Amino acid sequence: MRRYIQATAETFPVAGSFTISRGSRTEVEVVYCSIVQDGVKGVGECVPYKRYGESIDGVLADIRAVTDAISNGLGRTDLQTAMKPGAARNAVDCALSDLEAKLSGKAVAASLLASPPKAIVTAFTISLGDAETMAAQTAENAHRPLLKIKTGTVDDEARLRAVRAAAPNARIIVDANEGWTEDTIEHHLAVAAELDIALIEQPLPAGKDAALARIRRSVPICADESVHLTTDLASLQDRYDAINIKLDKTGGLTEALIMKREAERLGYTIMVGCMLGTSLGMAPAVLLAQDTAYADLDGPLLLARDRVPGLVYDGSLVHPPQTALWG
């Protein structure tokens, strides 16, 4: 058995721009990984994230470092110690999962799930802007059952009220991207509770979130930047009610499945989220999210161009991946 691995950087344009508290983007850079064995190709995608000290060049270097091991048959189990968690391992792990499925003729979904996967509701993201702009964007998507709005400024009350007024019937997740402070969080939580916000994601910076254990959480709080690995979960129980599992944080589907089981055991509400990427990056996450409370897998909907074939979206429903894409 001999395997051949390749990794390349690709760029996809964003539809308009995508803005969070850390800045705006008009394109997304991803790394595409392929592993070929006996003429069969498995593929995966990752999105290096600057917030976590990652870059395209760094991810490509990390993948190159395991080229010989992969060529000589390194499997997903040993990959977990051969590579550090993060985007690079995600691309390789998902490519190996796809390759295994195609070589065996048994889809990844059939190996993971007790019943066939179904279409699930995904959140749709409203970028950070002034209250009027966000309200207008929300009104255009008020028919969607689940919205996720980007906040994270000193005073987000006007944004919260404007968005709720524009979508009175939608469930709303507020993602502050570490942008709130100990001085502002209780006020924002009170406003969110008044407006029947379903969930607040990462309001305080990772590593500076101890205040969440001391205040009354009138709206459930979800960890994102604060949680990467299964070993993080136990130490966060006093300050978070939910966790956001992203494959680019865990380093692939293999670790994400372990994290999901442990999070369920500990009683967390689970969201499966994503970086801004293509359908290939979302495909394994759609399977991971099958029985979770929240899915935030709208990355392809925010792009001007996606992979072909891509995931099928029907409004806010995202369908399981076809094997021509992944799995």
Q: What is the pLDDT of residues 107-141, one digit of tens each?
A: 999 999 999 999 999 999 999 999 999 999 999 99
* Residue in the block written with tokens 């091991």: 69
Distance CA 13, CA 188 (A): 33
Q: What is the pLDDT of residue 18?
A: 80
Q: Is 246 a catalytic residue?
A: yes
Distance CA 102, CA 69 (A): 20
pTM of the model: 0.95
| CA-to-CA separations, 75 to 78, 108, 207, 236, 245, in angstroms, rounded | 6, 15, 33, 31, 23
Q: Are 222 and 200 in contact (CB under 8 A)?
A: yes
Residue 235 neighbours by CB under 8 Å, 6+ apart? none
Q: What is the pLDDT of residue 40?
A: 97
Give the residue from 144, 99, 105 showing the smallest Cα distance to 126: 144
SS3 at position 167: coil
Q: What is the pLDDT of residue 276?
A: 93
Q: Which residues in the chain come in under a pLDDT of 70?
A: 21-22
Q: Which pair of tokens denotes residue 304? A: 């001007």
Domains of the chain, earliest start first? 3-107 (3.30.390.10), 112-318 (3.20.20.120)
Which of the following is catalytic: 148, 150, 249, 260? 150
Q: Are 325 and 311 in contact (CB under 8 A)?
A: yes
Q: Give the gyration radius of the chain's Cα atoms.
A: 19
Average pLDDT in the chain: 96
Give the residue from 61, 59, 94 showing the smallest Cα distance to 278: 94
Query: pLDDT digit string (tens) for 243-262?
Result: 999 999 999 999 999 999 99
Helix, strand, coil % over all residues of the chain, rounded to 5: 35, 25, 40
Q: What is the pLDDT of residue 21?
A: 63
Q: What is the pLDDT of residue 13?
A: 94
Q: What is the pLDDT of residue 49?
A: 92
Q: What is the pLDDT of residue 112?
A: 93
Query: pLDDT digit string (tens) for 37-67?
Result: 999 999 999 999 998 999 999 999 999 999 9
Q: Is 150 a catalytic residue?
A: yes
Q: What is the pLDDT of residue 19?
A: 73
